[in-house]
Amino acid sequence: MRSLPFLLRSLNRCHPSSQTPSPPQLVLTFLHRSMATSAAADPISPSNTRVGWIGTGVMGRSMCAHLINAGYTLTVFNRTLSKAQPLLDLGARLAQTPHDLAAQSDVVFSIVGYPSDVRQVILDPTDGALSGLRPGGILVDMTTSEPTLAVEISNAASSKNCSSIDSPVSGGDSGAKNGTLAIFAGGDEAIVHRLNPLFTLLGKVNYMGPSGKGQFAKLANQITIASTMVGLVEGIIYAHKAGLNVASFLDAISTGAAGSKSLDLYGSRILKRDFDPGFFVNHFVKDLGICLKECQNMGLALPGLALAQQLYLSLKAHGEGNLGTQALILALERLNNVTLDS
């Protein structure tokens, strides 16, 4: 260990002579900083990391369960208490506000509905998570939101000596349940690596670049899914009208070039008329709207995206916004005056 005189000389260089603390105070300061640095470098584990989670809906509830089952101390917040109750039954604690949750957490995850919700639960000066987070704390927003908001949150976190990662996810309710989500992370790469023990419980993390790039990657993902879903339901409608057994048709194409994750996740649900949400139409309309806004900013023309957004918007106009995205079949049935039931 380095000698006491060496430590004193090192610390004296950091203080004007008129403000130099006494030797015992200097040593305590040095040791405190050393211990803090060492603690920050320790791998995240249930023994040293308290986790907070804001948003326990379709996705968040399953994701939280993985953390609890791995032994993490988890505090949750949700505006609708009934959605948090299953996690409380598993041993999670309940916070009354995001601020209170962050005050007793080292890492705070959020997965809520809209950018306005993200802003409220994280940046609200009174009740927001950042206002309660201690220096060194980490915010991880998994909501599909606006890239500019992700950068704003990162800057606000940095001003409080905290960190922020934008890490929206893809994979739907089944990915959340099975811990197989694709996670798109933007922010400080070192912080993303530090969060790996948590991310690996939820799925596979993919580092996309600095703050906001996680959101850009997720939006590109949504653009891809949107046109894929249109193609899937159009193929189903065509097969039905041609008199094919649609179930046999979907099974036949699943192993060919037309096979897709969307087909695997939603093909059978569509045939069963199971429109329960793995991902809400309302939220997909929101995502595609953000995509179109970003396209306008970039000067991009993506007609497939625009068409998909209009078709999904028609579902919302028919009061079907709380159905799952596989309900797109309803829009194509109405457009062609057919129904798979017939």
Query: What are phi and psi for residue 93, nearest 5 degrees?
Result: -95, 155
Measured torsion, CA atoms of residues 319, 303, 234, 113, in degrees rounded to the nearest 10: -40
Q: Which residue among 83, 218, 241, 272 is the active-site one?
A: 218
Number of Cβ atoms within 10 Å of the Cβ of 314 = 17
Residues in the chain: 342
Phi/psi of residue 38, each to 5°? -65, -40
Is 218 tagged catalytic? yes
Instruction: Write out the catalytic residue numbers.
Output: 218
